[in-house]
Structure formats: structure tokens, C-alpha cells
């Protein structure tokens, strides 16, 4: 074969191979190169669960993470594991997901376990703690310092296996119609507030109510509440809080992290093969990292645009924060005295934080550097 013929053959083979690889390349940004893509037949479905979620999936960061988790698990299993998402209230009330999982009305759900506070007093310690750990601290405690074992022990009593599945950074401290210049300004304030932070606000004299995310704007607009906290700036603005309340306060003292969990009925979990258990855990761990990255990436631009929509980003004064912290610690001690699970988990978190502080105080640049 001549050199020209040989070159022509190589070029033809390359083009044929390229066309073939493009034809079988999966849709979406999977990160796989065309040469690495292969045709695979979908596997028979072996897990087909309904999955109620606590937040609307149309919400950025807070709501879209279960979509990511479900998709990556389905793709990783080649279609064999299918978790069908149902929006809040479609099949289970938003605040009753763990009840439905406990009773096996559904096999699993995606939720913020802090909503279980009324029936499981220690649950907020797994979801968000006022003046608590930062996101990576909580993740370290959960994965490496006994948090996971304590969470599983707590929820096993309720026929539930919890899997850490989502994480965001601090929330805003709330949206207010009027400026909060002193603690007296909180007295008599009608505010939507969740978790342990809600108890703190009650001690400050506020009138606290709990509402699902989809009901907050209407209550704020009609004056049923004067103020609200809910989530991150990008989430709250999507819900329209900025149209009614023009003062958005920081820092998010009441939720320095927000952890979400995939909660699985304990019998359904034990019936899974070790491989499928590992697959769900892997998908959720990917969800934690992706969710935190997504959370941190989106907030700066939202706050930068506050001036254009007439919103003022405010900071609580140090005296206000110090009193909120003092009240928080009092409430935590009371809860620990009343509930052994709360005491055990709180002691574990405090022990880890004390040890971690040796690293945290030295390894990172000062925030005002």
C-alpha cells in the first residue's frame, strides 16, 4: 500500500470511529469521553420507590438537590434503581415525611429532620444547630467522629435509617419589614421560624409559627406574620420575600449549616443488598458535595443585586448576637437535661468542636484578612 493510500485508510478509520462514538454518547454532561462511552442495555428495575420531598424541586439549591441525587443513582445503576420524586403535599404532608417512612406508607423520603423536633427532641441537632458547626465541621463530625452512628441510633427507634444526603451553608437570619436595632424590637414580632432557633426567638418575646415554604409568602403578604426565616438568599428571593420585607439580616446564627437526609424505612433498608445500600450512600454523599458547592456559588450574586430591588442587607449587632447565643446555650442545656438522646448527641458535637478548634483556629486565614 502506498503512503497516500495508508494515510487515507487511517483518516477514514478515524472518521468512522468518531461518528460511531458520537452516536452512542449519552446525553448530558456526564464527564465521559466519547472513546470511553459504550452502549449498555438498561437493567431490570429492582428498586422502585416513591420519594416524597420536603421542599419544592423548583427551588434552587434547596429543592433541586434530590433531583440530582435521584438522577445520579439511576444512571449509576443503569436504570435499576428508580426513586420517583413527589412534590411536598402530593402524597405526604411536608412535615410528615418521617412519619410516612416510619409506618412504611412510603419506603423513603428526602427531608430536613429538624421538622421532627416535636416528636424527636434531638432531631434538630442533626439538621441545624444555632451557633453550631460550619458545614465542613458537621460533615467531618458525621462521617468521621461518630455523628452517623448517633444519627442512626436515634432514628432506629423510629424504624428509620437516615442517610446524610444534602448540605448548604448558613441561612439568612430572616426577612423583616422593619430594622432590628435592639432585642426589644423582637418582642411581639410575629415570625415564621424553625428548629431550635424558633425556641430562642420565643424566649426573646417573638410569636413564632411554623409554615411550609410554599405558604410563607402569602402569610407575609397578608400580614399574618411580620417576618420570616426560611433558607438561602437565592431561595428566599425565588419565593418573593424581598417583595414584602426589605431588610434581610445576617449572619445566619440559627442555622450555621443545613443538613438534609434521605430517610429510609428500616425494614426496606435491611432488605436491600449491600451493593444497593452502598449505591444509595454513594449517591447521597455525592449530593452533599454537589449541594454545598451549588449553595456557596449562588449567594454572592444575589446579595450584590439587592440594591437594584430595594433590599438592604443588614447585620445584627454584636450585643444582639451575644444575647441570642446565651439564650441558645440555656435552651440546649434544658433540652439535654430533659432528653438523653439530645444530651448524648450534644456532648459528641461539643467534644468534636473542642478538638477541631485546635486546627480551625490555626489553619485558616482570619476572615477579615
135 in a domain, yes or no?
yes
Rg of the chain in Å (alpha carbons): 24
Q: Are residues 250 and 199 located together in one domain of the fold?
A: yes
Average pLDDT of the residues of the chain: 91
105 in a domain, yes or no?
yes
Confidence of residue 40 (pLDDT cuts 50, 70, 90): low
pLDDT computed for residue 207 by the predictor: 98
pLDDT computed for residue 285 by the predictor: 98
Q: Are residues 227 and 102 located together in one domain of the fold?
A: no
Q: Are residues 207 and 282 located together in one domain of the fold?
A: no
Q: Which domain holds residue 82?
A: 47-167+256-298
Q: Are residues 239 and 291 located together in one domain of the fold?
A: no
Q: What percent of the chain has pLDDT over 70?
A: 89
Q: Are residues 76 and 129 located together in one domain of the fold?
A: yes
Residue ranges of E strands in 210-292: 227-228, 247-250, 258-265
Query: What Å distances lie between residue 113 and 120, 167, 203, CA to CA?
Result: 9, 13, 23
Q: Are residues 187 and 329 located together in one domain of the fold?
A: yes
pLDDT computed for residue 369 by the predictor: 78
Confidence of residue 127 (pLDDT cuts 50, 70, 90): very high
Q: Are residues 134 and 201 located together in one domain of the fold?
A: no
Q: Are residues 204 and 290 located together in one domain of the fold?
A: no
The whole-model pTM stands at 0.88
Quick one: average pLDDT of 55-67?
A: 97
Q: Are residues 205 and 276 located together in one domain of the fold?
A: no
Q: Are residues 75 and 152 located together in one domain of the fold?
A: yes
342 in a domain, yes or no?
yes
Q: C-alpha grid cell for residue 104? A: 412504611
By C-alpha distance, which of 88, 127, 317 is closest to 215? Answer: 88
Q: Are residues 160 and 243 located together in one domain of the fold?
A: no
364 in a domain, yes or no?
no
Cis peptide before 251, with omega less than 30 degrees from 0? yes
Could you report the per-residue pLDDT of 9-29, keeping only the tens digit for each?
A: 333 333 333 333 333 333 334
368 in a domain, yes or no?
no
Indicate the residue among 264, 298, 332 that finishes a domain: 298
Quick one: average pLDDT of 123-129?
A: 98
By C-alpha distance, which of 252, 251, 248 is closest to 310? Answer: 248
Phi, psi of 198 (to 5 degrees): -65, -35
Confidence of residue 182 (pLDDT cuts 50, 70, 90): very high
Confidence of residue 77 (pLDDT cuts 50, 70, 90): very high
- Which residue matches cell numbers 427551588? 59
- Say whether pLDDT at 320 is over 80: yes
240 in a domain, yes or no?
yes
Distance of alpha carbon 258 from alpha carbon 250, whole angstroms: 15
160 in Cβ contact with 98 (< 8 Å): yes
Q: What is the CATH classification number for the domain harbouring 290? A: 3.40.190.170
Relative to beta strand 207-209, strand 227-228 is: unpaired
Could you report the per-residue pLDDT of 208-252, keeping only the tens digit for each?
A: 999 999 999 999 999 999 999 999 999 999 999 999 999 999 999
Counted domains in the chain: 2
Q: What percent of the chain has pLDDT over 90?
A: 87
pLDDT computed for residue 19 by the predictor: 33
Q: What is the CATH classification number for the domain harbouring 232? A: 3.40.190.10
125 in a domain, yes or no?
yes
Q: Are residues 152 and 74 located together in one domain of the fold?
A: yes
317 in a domain, yes or no?
yes
pLDDT computed for residue 39 by the predictor: 53
Amino acid at each position: 500500500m502506498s503512503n497516500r493510500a495508508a494515510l487515507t485508510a487511517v483518516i477514514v478509520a478515524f472518521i468512522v470511529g468518531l461518528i460511531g462514538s458520537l452516536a452512542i454518547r449519552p446525553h448530558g454532561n456526564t464527564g465521559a469521553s466519547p472513546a470511553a462511552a459504550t452502549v449498555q442495555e438498561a437493567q431490570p428495575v429492582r428498586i422502585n420507590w416513591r420519594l416524597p420531598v420536603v421542599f419544592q424541586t423548583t427551588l434552587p439549591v434547596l429543592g433541586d438537590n434530590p433531583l440530582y441525587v435521584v438522577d445520579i443513582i439511576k444512571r449509576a445503576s443503569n436504570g435499576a434503581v428508580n426513586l420517583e420524586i413527589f412534590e411536598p403535599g402530593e402524597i405526604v404532608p411536608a412535615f410528615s415525611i418521617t412519619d410516612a417512612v416510619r409506618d412504611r406508607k412510603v419506603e423513603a423520603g428526602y427531608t430536613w429532620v429538624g421538622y421532627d423536633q416535636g416528636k424527636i427532641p434531638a432531631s434538630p441537632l442533626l439538621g441545624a444547630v444555632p451557633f453550631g458547626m460550619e458545614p465542613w465541621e458537621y460533615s467531618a463530625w458525621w462521617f468521621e467522629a461518630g455523628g452517623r452512628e448517633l444519627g442512626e441510633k436515634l432514628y432506629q427507634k423510629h424504624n428509620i435509617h437516615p442517610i446524610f444526603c444534602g448540605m448548604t451553608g448558613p441561612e439568612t437570619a430572616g426577612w423583616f419589614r422593619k430594622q432590628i436595632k435592639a432585642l426589644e424590637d423582637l418582642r411581639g414580632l410575629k415570625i415564621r421560624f424553625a428548629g431550635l432557633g424558633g425556641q430562642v426567638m420565643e424566649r426573646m418575646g417573638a410569636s413564632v409559627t411554623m409554615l411550609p415554604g410554599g405558604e410563607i409568602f402569602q402569610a407575609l403578604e397578608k400580614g399574618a406574620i411580620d417576618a420570616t426565616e426560611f433558607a438561602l438568599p437565592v431561595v428566599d428571593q425565588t419565593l418573593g420575600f424581598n417583595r414584602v420585607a426589605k431588610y434581610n439580616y445576617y449572619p445566619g446564627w440559627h442555622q450555621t449549616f443545613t443538613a438534609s437526609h434521605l430517610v429510609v424505612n428500616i425494614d426496606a433498608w435491611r432488605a436491600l443488598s449491600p451493593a444497593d445500600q452502598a449505591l444509595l450512600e454513594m449517591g447521597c454523599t455525592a449530593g452533599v458535595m454537589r449541594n454545598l458547592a451549588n449553595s456557596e456559588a449562588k449567594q454572592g450574586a444575589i446579595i450584590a443585586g439587592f440594591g437594584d430591588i430595594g433590599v438592604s442587607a443588614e447585620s445584627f449587632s454584636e450585643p444582639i448576637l451575644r444575647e441570642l447565643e446565651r439564650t441558645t446555650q440555656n435552651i440546649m442545656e434544658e433540652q439535654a437535661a430533659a432528653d438523653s438522646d439530645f444530651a448524648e448527641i450534644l456532648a459528641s458535637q461539643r467534644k468534636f468542636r473542642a478538638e477541631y478548634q485546635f486546627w480551625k483556629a490555626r489553619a485558616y486565614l482570619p476572615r477579615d484578612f
